[in-house]
Structure formats: C-alpha cells, structure tokens
Amino acid sequence: MASAILTLTDPHRYGVLDIRVWQRLHELGSVTTKPGGVGFDFNNWHDYLVTLRDHAKTLGVSVRTIECSLFLYHQRLQRGPRYGLRCARG
C-alpha cells in the first residue's frame, strides 16, 4: 500500500510494487530473487525501486511509465492463474 501512496505523490520517482511487474523483471534478469513475485520485504521493495529507476533513466521516462508498461505487457501475456509462477511466452 505504501508504494501506491508514494506513486500517487511522485510518479516520476515511484512505481507500485506489483506481482506482475516483479515477475517480468525477474524474467528479464533485472531482479534475481522471488521468481513468483510474492513475500516482499523492505529490501525487495528497495531493489525493485532501484531497478525501475535504472530502466526509467535509461529510457528517459518516469518510473511509473516503466511499471505500467511492464504490468500491461505481463497482463497481455498471462495465461492461466493470475498469480502463477510463470506466464506464457508469446
């Protein structure tokens, strides 16, 4: 919930911590723990945020834009249970 509030206050610097986004980042090799995207602690959130910020800086967009893009891409590819460990590849 805190990540959502921070995102509302400053979407340029923050994105919502989300299972779909984490799973996509894991598949891309940007995060290396918790492939299923569940059971986060503060360190996971920090790693997630640093990773999103790195991608945002590289692409010259907001952190929220990166987070939303990964969320929508995962949603588009998703097959089966929403919170399964794997998503279908297109």
Residue 87 resides in a domain: no
Asked if the structure places residue 47 within a domain, the reply is yes
Residue 83 belongs to a domain: no
Q: Shortest CA distance to 67 belongs to which of 1, 2, 19?
A: 19
pTM to 2 decimal places: 0.74
pLDDT category of residue 18 using cuts at 50, 70 and 90: confident
Which amino acid belongs to residue 71? F
Q: What is the mean pLDDT of residues 9-18?
A: 80
Q: Is residue 12 part of a domain?
A: yes
Give the pLDDT score at 90: 34
Instruction: Give the domain extent around 33.
Output: 2-77
Contact 68, 56 (CB under 8 A): no
Least confident segment among 1-10, 14-23, 47-56: 1-10
Q: Is residue 17, in this structure, part of any structural domain at all?
A: yes
Nearest Cα to Cα of residue 21 among 60, 88, 73, 81: 73
